[in-house]
Amino acid sequence: MPHCTPETLALAALREPLPAVDDAHLAGCARCQAEVASLQRGVDALAVPQLAAPGPAVPPPPAVWSAIAAATGVTATPRPDVVAAAVPAAPVAPPPVPPPPLPPPPAPATVTTLRPRRSRLLLAAAAALVVGAGIGAGAVALGDRDDDGLTVAAAALDPLEESGASGEARVLERGDGTRTLRLDLTAADLEDGFYEVWLIDEAVEDMYSLGVVQGGGEVTLEVPPGVDLTEFPVVDVSVEPLDGDPVHSGVSVARGVLA
């Protein structure tokens, strides 16, 4: 089938309806489609009001009148005042408005490294934490299932600083994927404070607070969603004073590493 004629391509570029035969050919012919796309660029440019608006008239160059005179035999030439009247003067553009001055650059922000009080003891114990806190963790059986879920990680909590505290921690995973930490702690009762349970990374830099636990007995705490226990495997029990400060006090009584 022959390609579309230039007239047909021009109509297509103007988005005019085509005869059925030409319309069917154009739908399957890459060459004709490319021609239409090229023509439509000019059509779309003229459709922009800023580009389609008529500009000021300009006088024709002298060669145009000479060609007309040669073709028609006219020897008279238009008077300069008539040409000037026919061609309005181009509007004078207003002077450009200078852009507003740029605001001064903001002063550089001051970055302050916070050193909460928890770092005093935790940083000092970091080396011993990785090496010694996992002792006895393997004694807790994994894979046990009860009504609260399946045991997926466990740790034996060893005493720190001759505190005499000890315990066992197990991570249970429910059927919906949520997890809890079941902690059985044996520790002396506190008169002016409380015990708090934390998940800490092995670098002893970041931690999550899971909640408060009593000195004796078992408690079940929710593990925050999205916490990777391979990055936060350390279970830490701290002594917190009743001062309203939410950060780790830096005083721990028991710790273990989840296996």
Structural domains in the chain plus CATH codes: 6-52 (no CATH), 60-88 (no CATH), 119-257 (2.60.40)
pLDDT in tens, 119-133: 444 444 443 444 344
pLDDT in tens, 218-246: 899 999 998 999 999 999 999 999 888 88
Confidence at residue 148, expressed as pLDDT on a 0 to 100 scale:
76
Indicate whether 135 pLDDT > 50. Answer: no
pTM given for the model: 0.48
Q: CB of 220 within 8 A of CB of 202?
A: no
Residues constituting the chain: 259
**Higher-pLDDT residue of 208, 143:** 208
Task: Give 192 or 88, the one with higher predicted confidence.
Answer: 192
Whether 170 has a pLDDT exceeding 90, the answer reads: yes
Exposure b/e, 41-80, CB count within 10 A at least 16 = b: eeeeeeeeeeeeeeeeeeeeeeeeeeeeeeeeeeeeeeee
Instruction: Read off the pLDDT band of 44 (50, 70, 90).
Output: low
pLDDT confidence tier of residue 153, bands split at 50, 70 and 90: very high
The larger pLDDT score, comparing residue 125 to residue 212, is at 212
